[in-house]
Structure 1
Amino acid sequence: MNLVALQNGLDNISFAVLFVTMLIYWGGAAFNNIPYLPVLGTSGMAIANLCIAALLSARWLEAGYFPLSNLYESLFFLAWGITTIHLIAENMSKSRLVGVVTAPVAMGITAFAALTLPSSMQSAEPLVPALKSNWLMMHVSVMMLSYAALMVGSLLAIAFLVVSGGKNIELRGSSVGTGGFRSKDESDRPYRLQKATDLVLQPQGEASNSSSVNSVFESNGSAKTAVLDLANPQTSQKEVINDASILSPQRLNLAETLDNISYRIIGLGFPLLTIGIIAGGVWANEAWGSYWSWDPKETWALITWLVFAAYLHARITKGWQGRRPAILAATGFVVVWVCYLGVNLLGKGLHSYGWFF
């Protein structure tokens, strides 16, 4: 089969598979009692991942260079990266909600590449002299993988905000290696988020000490609720939970899982972004004689790095969890798209694809 025809078939198949996979994930989220839907969703993502990998391989064989020289190729590489990171995140979280947010993005990227881009931008072109370097693979591939990881991590943070209803809630043990950080400013944490297993009753007859259980009554209009909460072993102060304000146990556990996996995936993408920026500087010096020229792409790459550096700093050093870092990660999602696509299509610079201008 002709390699060009094979590519045209594979990009359409990838779009179709991702579209069906998106519907499967959405159906599974709406009707969670339907069997086999989680398996079908994961299988759909894996099939799409393999189709895109085959497309990029055929492109590589046809053009004779690593397929990351134009927007069409980079979009499909990004979609491949997102589906790969999705499979990792889904395996870590065991939650189908990962696909609810990642499948539409991967599908939209493939649709934009296969159905919207002009045919002239979809065809392979000879490399310009500046791109005839081994740094094309080393720099661009790492940057694209970092974008994919940061996008998936940010999407999971957005999903956390949706599941938690935007409440300012505190999580327990959701940060990697933190042992359950807590904000020193408890006045900024009006809601206490705990697993259902944390809300246990103290057997009668035990000594009443700093770990005993107290009954706390809070008024809410005409209704009153009593909540028994075991004191935190790390503090002698009793914590108050407004039962009318917290989420159901299922949503509590799901929110904690999303926050945890989002942190892990962003923690994977940030080192890749750092390595990609360093490799880009070395390549720029080799090609243009300068490590950094404040090109729009370089500037936005630095902004992206600073946003996610602030996110990780807040989580690791300050112990942020829940809503505040999720909002920062959601902002990072927009910044990544501006860095990757916005400045390429609209800006003037060494990295511009020049489609609109």
Structure 2
Amino acid sequence: MLVDQNLSNFSDLSFRTALVLYVISLFLSLFYYVRIQAVIDARRALKAAVPAAGQSGGVLLEERPSNLQENAEKAEATANKIGGMLQSLLWIGIAVHVVAIVLRGLSAHRFPFGNLYEYVLMVTAGVMIVSSIALQRKEWRTLWPWILVPVLALMFFGGTKLYAESAPVVPALRSYWLPVHVTVVSLGAAIGLFSGLSSLLSILRSWQPKGKEHGFIGGIVKPLPTATKLDTLAYRTAVITLPTLGLGIVLGAIWAEAAWGRYWGWDPKETVSFATWVLYAAYLHARATPSMRKAAPWINIVAMATMVFNLFFINMVVSGLHSYAGLN
């Protein structure tokens, strides 16, 4: 079946537009991050000034907390406006991102899961959707710079080094199992990446506890939620990641039996995917075991790194039955 080149071009244009919108969102999120730092500093200054004013009883010190309160409220109001603009812009970017995926599929009259470029397109869209749903509350908005940077890096790499022209899929992928298997796996990967990033930030925050930040790194992590909240966020999303990836692996095994006559063959992709699933299971076990709880975030980070290794190295370097990157 012929490829609709116009739809393919519009898909590429939508992808680039989404990339630009995310870049603008990154700068806006950084501005929001700085404003939240100012809000925190103003609140801490007010907290320190109120006892001093109460003890002194002097006129000058009595007026100072009032001024600090006003400054803190103004800074918070400004930050909330920026945060609202950020959320709106991100949803617009996500909508354009999804349009790029849909047009890519329509252009080739198939589901857009035929090569590594399209898979990266799907995973990054999944990360953005999962993040936007999970970070609705104001206290979570400071996580956006930490999420947008790796997402933009993945999209830039996918759009430059991994890009493949819209075309029919190779014969081995012409199966109704393709959209089912890849959709579930990409969703699991998106949630897993979000969970791993949350664990990474929880470790960073545990080194710089809230209210006890110090040095350059302390100033950077100051706007982040507490380590406990970040760890809880990582755990709750990992709880979804484990069964989702497990289901994806099972669906892949069923497809493998239909395509190759066996459910499992320890192909490099299968092996690393199973190792990733085991690591997420180990993370949840460690998280629920008091003696291993401190090591749990590190296991989650290793699971995320293994997933990224599976996404790039196994697809691009190692030869196997799953070598459908579309780079040749």
Question: What is the CA-CA distance between 1:128 and the residue it aligns to?
Answer: 2.0
Structure 1 equivalent of residue 104 of structure 2: 59
Q: Which amino acid aligns with 1:343?
A: I
- Cα offsets for 1:9-34 (capped at 9, x unmatched): 11111111111111222222223144
Helix, strand or coil at the partner of 1:69: coil
Q: Which of 313, 323, 328 in structure 2 is aligned with 1:342?
A: 313
> Residues of 2 paired with 1:92 and 1:252: CA distance?
13
Q: Which of 171, 174, 180 in structure 2 is aligned with 1:132?
A: 174
> Residues of 1 paired with 2:239 and 2:208: CA distance?
23
Query: Contact 2:139/2:225 (CA < 8 Å) preserved in 1?
Result: no
Structure 1 equivalent of residue 185 of structure 2: 143
Structure 2 equivalent of residue 329 of structure 1: 300
Structure 2 equivalent of residue 26 of structure 1: 30
The yes-or-no answer on 1:84 pairing with 2:129 is yes
Query: Contact 1:93/1:258 (CA < 8 Å) preserved in 2?
Result: no
Question: What is the CA-CA distance between 1:110 and the residue it aligns to?
Answer: 1.6
- Cα offsets for 1:58-89 (capped at 9, x unmatched): 11211111101101111110111010110122
Question: What is the CA-CA distance between 1:352 and the residue it aligns to?
Answer: 1.8
The yes-or-no answer on 1:8 pairing with 2:12 is yes
Structure 2 equivalent of residue 307 of structure 1: 279
Query: Contact 1:89/1:98 (CA < 8 Å) preserved in 2?
Result: no
Helix, strand or coil at the partner of 1:58: helix
- Percent same amino acid among aligned pairs? 27
Q: Could you say which structure has the higher strand fraction?
A: 1
Root-mean-square deviation (CA), in Å? Answer: 2.7
Question: What is the CA-CA distance between 1:2 and the residue it aligns to?
Answer: 2.3
Question: What is the CA-CA distance between 1:315 and the residue it aligns to?
Answer: 1.7
TM-aligned CA distance change 1:150 to 1:354, over 3 Å = closer
Query: Contact 1:345/1:355 (CA < 8 Å) preserved in 2?
Result: no
Query: Contact 2:181/2:251 (CA < 8 Å) preserved in 1?
Result: yes
The yes-or-no answer on 1:297 pairing with 2:301 is no
Q: Which of 224, 240, 248 in structure 2 is aligned with 1:276?
A: 248
Helix, strand or coil at the partner of 1:91: coil
The yes-or-no answer on 1:96 pairing with 2:138 is no
Query: Contact 1:41/1:99 (CA < 8 Å) preserved in 2?
Result: no
> Residues of 1 paired with 2:175 and 2:146: CA distance?
36
Query: Contact 1:346/1:356 (CA < 8 Å) preserved in 2?
Result: no
Helix, strand or coil at the partner of 2:135: helix
Helix, strand or coil at the partner of 2:110: coil
Q: Which of 161, 167, 170 in structure 2 is aligned with 1:116?
A: 161
Q: Which amino acid aligns with 2:146?
A: V
- Cα offsets for 1:92-128 (capped at 9, x unmatched): 68411321221112211221122333xxx42122222
Structure 1 equivalent of residue 119 of structure 2: 74
Q: Which amino acid aligns with 2:280?
A: F
TM-aligned CA distance change 1:71 to 1:90, over 3 Å = same
- Cα offsets for 1:145-165 (capped at 9, x unmatched): 101100001001111111221
> Residues of 2 paired with 1:252 and 1:50: CA distance?
27
Q: Which amino acid aligns with 1:19?
A: V
The yes-or-no answer on 1:262 pairing with 2:304 is no
The yes-or-no answer on 1:42 pairing with 2:91 is no
> Residues of 1 paired with 2:204 and 2:26: CA distance?
18
Question: What is the CA-CA distance between 1:288 and the residue it aligns to?
Answer: 0.4
Q: TM-score, normalised by structure 1?
A: 0.71
TM-aligned CA distance change 1:297 to 1:94, over 3 Å = same
Structure 1 equivalent of residue 195 of structure 2: 153
Query: Contact 2:123/2:187 (CA < 8 Å) preserved in 1?
Result: yes
Structure 2 equivalent of residue 216 of structure 1: none
Query: Contact 1:150/1:269 (CA < 8 Å) preserved in 2?
Result: yes
Q: TM-score, normalised by structure 2?
A: 0.77
TM-aligned CA distance change 1:6 to 1:251, over 3 Å = closer
Q: How many residues align?
A: 277
Unaligned runs of 5+ in 2: 37-74
Unaligned runs of 5+ in 1: 168-194, 197-241
Helix, strand or coil at the partner of 2:98: helix
Q: Could you say which structure has the higher helix fraction?
A: 2
Query: Contact 1:163/1:251 (CA < 8 Å) preserved in 2?
Result: no
Q: Which amino acid aligns with 2:196?
A: S
**Stretch moving more, 27-36 or 250-259:** 250-259
> Residues of 2 paired with 1:50 and 1:253: CA distance?
28
Question: What is the CA-CA distance between 1:258 and the residue it aligns to?
Answer: 0.8
